[in-house]
C-alpha cells in the first residue's frame, strides 16, 4: 500500500480525483427506485405508541452489481493504481513482488482482481475455516491463497511481506481505500438528488468514503450496523465518545463483524462527517434482505440490507426524519453494498426461520 504520507488528504476534492482514476476500471452501478419499499418506509409502524410518520423516497445504489459483486472493487483498484504511481515501490520491484491482503470476504476478491488486471501477483491470506467456494472464487481471480489459523492472519500476512517483499493492502483503514470507496457517494449524487445516504459500517471504509463524498454538499450521511452481540461498535463509540476496538459477534450480517479503523473513525466521528449511527436486530436484517430480494429482485448479502432495515424499522431514525424533513420528506440513498452470498447460504438463512 502506498505510504500514508504520500496519500491525498481526506477531502471531497481528493475523492473526485480518485474517482477519475478508477472510473474506467469499475462499473457505474445503477440506482434503482422502489415504489413499494418507499411506501412501506413512509407508513407508520403498527403496534407502537405514537409511531413516527416520516415521508421517505428510497433510492438503491446497486453495488451488488459492481465488479466482484461488492463496492470493495473501488478501493482495491484505487490502491493498486496509486501503488503503480509510486516510484519507490516500482523501483523496489513492486510489480513483481506483488501485493498481499488478508480477508475472507469481498476484499480478497477485489484485491485479486485489481492486481491481476495490472499483472501484479496477489497473495490472499484466509483463515482455514473459510468456505471452499470463497477460496475458489479468489483463486479464480488469479490470486495465490494462503490458508492460516483463524487468529493468525496478520502474522501470516507479515510473513509474506517479509519473504516475498509483497506490499500489504489493508481492507479498509487506509486513505487510498477510503478515497476509492468514496466514489460510491459521488456517483450516487450524480445519478439522483438525495437528501441523505445510509451506508453500512464495519471497518468504516465505505461509510467514511461516502461521508467524504458528501462533505460540504448538505447531504446527510448515516451509518447502519447490526446490534447483535455488540456489533454496533461505532454507534456505541459515538455514545462513549471514543473508538471501540474489540467486538466478538456472530451476526448474520457477516460482512459487518469488524470494528472501525483509526482513519475511518477520524472521518466518521472526529470530523463529524457522519450525522448519526443506527442499529437494527437480526430479525430486521433478515426481513429487509427478504424484501430486497422479493420486491427489488436483487440478490444481496445480509450485510447490504442493514441500511434498509434502519429506514424501515429503526424508530429513532424514523422520528428524526419526520422532524428534520417534515411533510416534504427526504430522498434517501441506500447503499446495497454487495451481493456475494451462495444460494445455499441464503437457503439456510430462510429455511431456518
Instruction: Please report, as ranges, the residues that interact with its own copies according to CB under 8 A.
Output: 30, 32, 64-65, 69, 289-290, 293-294, 296-300, 339, 341-344, 346-351, 353
Catalytic status, residue 208: no
CA angle 38, 43, 49 (to 5 degrees): 150
Q: Least CB distance from residue 45 to its own copies, whole Å?
A: 19
Q: Compare residues 166 and 336 and give the one whose CB is closer to its own copies.
A: 336
**How many angstroms separate the CA atoms of 209 and 204, rounded?**
8
DSSP-assigned beta bridge partners for residue 125: 102, 146
Q: Least CB distance from residue 117 to its own copies, whole Å?
A: 13
Q: Check residue 294 and report its DSSP letter.
A: I
Q: Least CB distance from residue 319 to its own copies, whole Å?
A: 28
Reading phi first (left if > 0) and then psi (alpha if -120 to 50, else beta), residue 155 is in alpha
Q: Compare residues 60 and 172 and give the one whose CB is closer to its own copies.
A: 60
Q: Compare residues 64 and 202 and give the one whose CB is closer to its own copies.
A: 64
Q: Least CB distance from residue 65 to its own copies, whole Å?
A: 6
Q: Check residue 293 and report its DSSP letter.
A: I
Q: Least CB distance from residue 160 to its own copies, whole Å?
A: 28
Please identify which of the residues 61, 72, 82, 134 carries the catalytic annotation.
72
Catalytic status, residue 39: no
Q: Least CB distance from residue 318 to its own copies, whole Å?
A: 23
C-alpha dihedral, 322 to 303 to 233 to 258, nearest 10°: -160
Q: Compare residues 65 and 196 and give the one whose CB is closer to its own copies.
A: 65
Number of Cβ atoms within 10 Å of the Cβ of 202: 29
End-to-end alpha-carbon separation of the chain, Å?
43
Estimate to the nearest angstrom the gap between the alpha carbon of 347 and the chain centroid: 24
Number of Cβ atoms within 10 Å of the Cβ of 192: 15
Q: Compare residues 14 and 64 and give the one whose CB is closer to its own copies.
A: 64
CA 224 → CA 163, 198, 249, 281, distances in Å?
A: 39, 7, 16, 11
**How many angstroms separate the CA atoms of 108 and 99, rounded?**
11
Give yes or no for a contact between 13 and 54, defined as CB atoms under 8 angstroms apart.
no
Q: Compare residues 208 and 340 and give the one whose CB is closer to its own copies.
A: 340
Is residue 278 exposed (0-12), middle (13-18) or buried (19+ Cβ within 10 Å)? buried
Please identify which of the residues 104, 183, 202, 337 carries the catalytic annotation.
104
Residues designated catalytic: 72, 104
Amino acid at each position: 500500500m502506498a505510504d500514508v504520507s504520500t496519500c491525498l488528504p481526506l477531502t471531497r476534492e481528493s475523492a473526485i480525483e480518485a474517482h477519475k482514476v478508477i472510473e474506467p476500471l469499475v462499473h457505474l452501478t445503477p440506482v434503482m427506485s422502489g415504489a413499494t419499499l418507499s411506501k412501506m418506509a413512509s407508513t407508520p409502524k403498527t403496534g407502537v405508541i405514537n409511531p413516527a410518520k416520516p415521508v421517505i423516497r428510497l433510492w438503491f445504489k446497486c453495488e451488488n452489481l459492481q465488479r466482484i459483486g461488492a463496492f470493495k472493487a473501488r478501493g482495491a483498484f484505487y490502491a493498486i493504481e496509486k501503488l503503480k504511481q509510486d516510484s519507490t515501490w516500482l523501483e523496489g520491484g513492486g510489480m513483481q513482488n506483488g501485493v498481499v491482503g488478508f480477508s475472507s470476504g469481498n476484499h480478497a476478491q477485489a484485491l485479486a482482481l485489481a492486481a491481476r488486471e495490472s499483472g501484479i501477483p496477489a497473495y490472499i491470506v484466509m483463515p482455514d475455516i473459510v468456505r471452499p467456494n470463497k477460496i475458489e472464487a479468489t483463486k479464480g481471480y488469479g490470486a495465490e491463497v494462503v490458508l492460516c489459523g483463524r487468529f493468525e492472519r496478520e502474522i501470516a500476512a507479515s510473513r509474506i511481506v517479509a519473504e516475498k517483499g509483497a506490499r500489504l493492502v489493508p481492507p479498509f483503514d487506509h486513505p487510498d481505500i477510503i478515497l476509492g470507496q468514496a466514489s460510491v457517494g459521488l456517483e450516487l449524487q450524480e445519478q439522483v438528488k438525495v437528501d441523505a445516504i445510509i451506508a453500512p459500517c464495519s471497518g468504516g471504509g465505505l461509510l467514511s468514503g461516502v461521508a467524504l463524498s458528501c462533505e460540504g454538499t448538505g447531504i446527510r450521511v448515516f451509518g447502519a450496523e447490526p446490534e447483535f452481540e455488540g456489533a454496533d461498535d461505532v454507534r456505541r463509540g459515538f455514545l462513549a465518545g471514543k473508538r471501540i476496538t474489540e467486538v466478538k459477534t456472530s451476526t448474520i450480517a457477516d460482512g459487518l463483524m469488524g470494528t472501525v479503523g483509526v482513519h475511518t473513525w477520524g472521518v466518521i466521528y472526529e470530523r463529524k462527517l457522519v450525522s448519526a449511527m443506527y442499529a437494527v436486530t437480526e430479525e430486521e436484517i433478515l426481513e429487509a434482505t427478504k424484501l430486497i430480494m422479493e420486491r427489488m429482485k436483487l440478490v444481496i448479502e445480509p450485510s447490504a440490507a442493514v441500511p434498509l432495515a434502519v429506514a424501515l424499522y429503526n424508530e429513532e431514525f424514523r422520528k428524526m426524519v419526520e422532524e428534520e424533513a417534515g411533510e416534504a420528506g427526504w430522498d434517501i440513498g441506500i447503499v446495497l453494498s454487495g451481493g456475494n452470498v451462495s444460494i445455499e447460504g441464503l437457503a439456510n438463512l430462510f429455511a431456518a426461520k
